[in-house]
Amino acid sequence: MLRVHDIPAVSGSRDTKGAGDGFNADYLSARLPGHAPAQVITIAQVFAAEVIRHPSARLPKNTVPQVA
């Protein structure tokens, strides 16, 4: 059975290079240990939103969101 979740988007675009890669990497790194899909999407959105706030997807280490 397909489950549908309404998850609000996170905004703040500056440079969209790497947004999809950042989202996918964070999604997979949180999903593989078994976190719930809705929780993982929210985590990945936060990371992708941070990625697009910096030019060329180069995040300063102190701005990388930490996943618990």
- Residues 1-41: pLDDT tens digits? 667 777 676 666 567 777 888 889 889 988 998 989 888 88
Does pLDDT of 52 surpass 70? yes
If you average pLDDT over residues 29-58, what whole number do you get? 84
Q: Residues with Cβ < 8 Å from 40, sequence gap 6 or more?
A: 27, 30, 31
Specify the residue for token string 């703040």. Answer: 12
pLDDT reported for residue 28: 92
pLDDT reported for residue 2: 67
Give the whole-angstrom CA distance, residue 33 versus residue 8.
24
Residue ranges per domain, the chain?
Answer: 19-58
Residue 46, number of CB atoms within 10 A of its CB: 15
Does pLDDT of 68 surpass 60? no
